[in-house]
Amino acid sequence: MKLLSILVSLAVVISGAVAEPAAKPEIAKGDFKPTEEKPFDLRVEYLIKDKQTSPTELIDVENGETITIDYQFYNGEEEECTILGVGGKLISPVTGDTLFNITATNIGPLSVGSQDVVSFSQKIGIDLNPDSYLVVPSIFVVFKEQIMMLGSRNQLIQVDDPKISIFNPKLLVLEIILAASVGGILYLLYSLFGANYFSTVKKDAKKQKLPAAKPSKPAPAKVDESWLPETHLKTKRRSTRKN
């Protein structure tokens, strides 16, 4: 009897565990109320991989970077639907104008049964003017034999140019090329103009350093004595002898 009671109790525990419904994923929680814009219970949520843990977080990205959007899709309808692809656009958070279109990416086709949740990703390369943008994803699905485009929440991102370090290899190569170019131009200018200029300056400096020539004493002028009187000549001769 004790063995039978134990077996019955164990059977009740197992049946209770099987009968307990599985916990709903976060995306499937909450009551759905159909509207004109959204008549079907097809839900889309996403996070940007490695950049946010909550949908409310602002995302900073740099040009040249590739971001990955991780989607979750929930089919709350009784019929199966099929996901064909993802696309979207980037709009201005101020004016709402479309600034760039996101290239559509094929997915699958990926079948999603009733009450099922599936996950998939989309990669987007960033090459934009530095500014703030709203990412507006679009999911293309087939439901009730009709192709539909489902929207989701908008995500604000801030795009900036990457910060370049002076030790960046690409920048170092540019610096070397620039220095070589400047050096070549300076050498060319020196060869054409500088060498002649400095050579002229040195020659002028040497000329200025040479000692000035001493003025030579003028030789005594010779006088034609043929016309002088005899008495004057005799006097001159006497004075010369005395000297």
Q: State whether 151 and 182 are in the same domain.
A: no
**Same structural domain for residues 117 and 141?**
yes
Same domain membership, residue 177 and residue 81: no
pLDDT of residue 229: 62
Please tell me the least confidently modeled range out of 14-23, 108-117, 214-223: 14-23
- Establish if 212 belongs to a structural domain: no
Q: What is the pLDDT of residue 194?
A: 64
* Number of domains the chain contains: 2
Same domain, 77 and 142: yes
pLDDT confidence of residue 188: 77
| pLDDT above 70 as % of the chain | 66
133, 185: one domain: no
The region of weakest confidence among 99-103, 124-128, 179-183 is 179-183
Q: What pLDDT, on a 0 to 100 scale, did the predictor assign at position 61?
A: 95
pLDDT at 154: 94
Lowest average pLDDT, out of 89-103, 119-133, 197-211, goes to 197-211
pLDDT grade for 230, boundaries at 50, 70 and 90: low
**What's the mean per-residue pLDDT of the chain?**
79
pLDDT bucket at 14, cuts 50 / 70 / 90: very low
Asked if residue 197 has pLDDT above 70, the reply is no
Residues 49 and 104 in one domain: yes
38 in a structural domain: yes
C-alpha 240/C-alpha 231 separation (Å) is: 14
- Do 85 and 36 belong together in one domain? yes
* 178 in the same domain as 122: no
Residue 45 above 90 pLDDT? yes
End residue of a domain, out of 112, 134, 160: 160
Q: Residue 180 is part of which domain span? A: 164-194
